[in-house]
Every structure is written in C-alpha cells, then in structure tokens.
Amino acid sequence: MKKFLTILLLSIIIISGVWFAWHFYWVFGEGVKAGQLNNFMKKGFVFKTYEGKLIQTGLKGGMPGSVQSNEFSFSVTNESVAGKLMSNSGKEFELHYKEYMGALPWRGTTVFLVDSILSMRDPRTFQTPFNPQ
C-alpha cells in the first residue's frame, strides 16, 4: 500500500508540473498588433508589472456603417521596451507579442506579453502621400 501511494503521489506531482509548464510557459501563439497607445503604467500590490492598452480602430461595427474601436490589453516584462512605451504614450505602435494560456502574477495581468516594438510613429505629424510641384 505504501508503494502504491508513493507512485500515485509522484504521478500527481509530475502531471501537475507538466500541466503548469504547458499552461503558463508554452507559447500558444504570437503576432503583431498595431494601434495607438492609450495608456501604459506600472502597477500591482505585491508584483509590480507593466500594463498597457492599445487602441485599434476598425470599420466593422455592430450596426451597418458604424465605426468600432478595439482595445488590446497587454503586459510587458522587458524594462527597455517598457521605458520606451512609458515615454511615448499617444503614439502609434506596431508591437510584437506572445500569447500564453494563462497569466502569472509576476509576469502581468494579461495573457499577452509584448516583447518588442516593431515601429513607432507620431500620428500628429501630417504626412502627404503626394506632393505636386
């Protein structure tokens, strides 16, 4: 009976460890999101994490002819990426992210982790596509 309980306990520990690694550390997907950085902050009670929201505009709304904007909530673990986002709120970004199955408190509150900035531009600067002379 003691040998059975030992095998059962070891099996439960191994299965739980594999599930934890799969659920919280396996990258479910990755991609790029583009939009205007709405807010970015460092927050938390015990674990201070960087959290942000990106506003993505679109033309497909619930009613015909309506405009819809989507918010992309994300977390950042890289200090240099967080510093660049913190000092450039309101600009348009293209962000590369990784999606996990679950969030860990020391990694952020969302399952989306931004790991790099692909591009950044200021939407207030007017750029003409064609300049006739």
Nearest 10 degrees: Cα torsion 114, 55, 123, 95: 20
* pLDDT band with cut points at 50, 70 and 90 for residue 62: low
Q: What is the pTM of this model?
A: 0.77
Sequence spans of domains, the chain: 28-121
Beta bridge mates, 95: 33, 117
Tens of pLDDT, residues 65-113: 666 668 899 999 999 999 999 998 889 999 999 999 988 999 989 999 9
Beta strand spans in 5-129 (E): 27-43, 49-58, 68-76, 92-100, 112-121
User: In the structure encoding, which two tokens stand for residue 80, read together?
Assistant: 């240099």
Q: Are 52 and 76 in contact (CB under 8 A)?
A: yes
Q: Are 77 and 44 in contact (CB under 8 A)?
A: no
Task: Please name the CATH architecture into which domain 28-121 falls.
Answer: Beta Barrel (2.40)
